[in-house]
Copies of this chain bind each other. A is one copy, B any other.
């Protein structure tokens, strides 16, 4: 029963602790049964400040007590922690994540830098936990004592988790997705309000490529030396809308054997993964929640399902072109970012991949 409190908590750092994803890490790790917040890192200008003084906290009136009085540090290779949860921006991620892995840290990263590396797993704990098998190769290949596990783009995670049951049950041939993404996905200060109000911005830099390639990697296989992506055709169109949290995705999919809508609903509803088996602390009861109402999911109402760790799917119906279509919703800073990392760390800890 790996979810019970063990003898000791592992010390963890949050790298890049002041941005929206860093803040979600703080919220998820304050009071975590297995992990103990031991270091918060930040860019130079904030080093030395109390966390509560430096952060523009977005998650409610007050910073959690466990973090409020911690002093912000620089990111450095000799952080005295076992696990690093990285919300670093790309430049800092490139500079620090491999250094930290080299010196024995287990890095769980939200950054894109290493996601598509041949020996770095991109993991959704319920979808492709077996990709963690690449870590042994990674350590040997790179001469690292630690490791890097990435968790993918927020939009790709929501999509891959929603379609994983279908790929497993039937096999995906073609997939098209149009997204309506939230403002928090752009960080803080992020999208200027004059661009967001009464508007849709039909472009998010680099997003469509990430969704297309990462979804294929999530649903692909590890062959012992590299990742082989799933080979279905995929097209993504990404839009920004005036929503605080939660990415809504309009998905159409062509499946092998042309299963009925009922069969698709069954496959999604029945889906469970290793985190549910292991009863990991951050695992939602159901990773994919199917709703029957004709006008759901909606971000304002459904994004906190499963404490933000469930992807909510609705409007599953026939698609005259590809076969089946539906709407999926995922909380982008929880299931799509910090929560995904924490769940990955729990999974690897429970599976014994992080040492004793």
Contact = CB atoms under 8 A, between A and B. Distances in A.
Interface of A: 20, 57-58, 60-61, 174-176, 178, 180, 183-184, 188-203, 212, 233-235, 237, 239, 241-244, 248, 250, 252, 289, 291, 294-302, 304-305, 312, 314-315, 319-322, 325, 327
A331 to B, nearest CB: 11
5 contacts: A58-B301, A61-B312, A176-B252, A178-B237, A180-B241
A235 B193 contact: no
A320 to B, nearest CB: 5
A321 B190 contact: no
A202, A237, A300 — which one has the most chain B CB atoms within 10 A of its CB?
A202
Given A178-B178, A188-B192, A321-B234, A197 B300 contact: yes
A327 B200 CA distance: 11
A189 B197 CA distance: 13
B60 A301 contact: yes
A320 B248 contact: no
A194 B202 contact: no
A322 B191 contact: no
A61 B301 contact: yes
Given A189-B189, A235-B320, A198 B299 contact: yes
A242 B239 contact: no
A324 to B, nearest CB: 10
A184 B198 CA distance: 12
B198 A300 contact: yes
Contacts of A180: 180, 200, 239, 241
A248 B243 contact: no
Given A180-B180, A193-B196, A197-B242, 13 more contacts: A176-B322, A178-B178, A178-B237, A183-B194, A188-B194, A189-B189, A189-B194, A192-B192, A197-B300, A202-B248, A212-B320, A237-B327, A241-B241
A28 to B, nearest CB: 18
Contacts of A321: 174-176, 233-235
B58 A194 contact: yes
Contact of A192 (B189, B252, B327): B189
Contacts of A244: 194, 197-198, 300
A250 B202 contact: yes
A250 B294 CA distance: 21
Task: Name, among A61, A203, A234, A299, the residue most crowded by chain B CB atoms within 10 Å (CB to CB).
Answer: A61
A59 to B, nearest CB: 9
A194 B197 CA distance: 11
Given A189-B192, A190-B193, A199-B299, A248 B252 contact: no
Contact of A315 (B183, B202, B299): B202
Contact of A176 (B176, B192, B248, B312): B176
Contact of A60 (B252, B294, B304, B322): B304
A156 B193 CA distance: 23
A202 B297 contact: yes
A192 B20 CA distance: 13
A202 B304 contact: no
Contacts of A61: 289, 291, 301-302, 304-305, 312
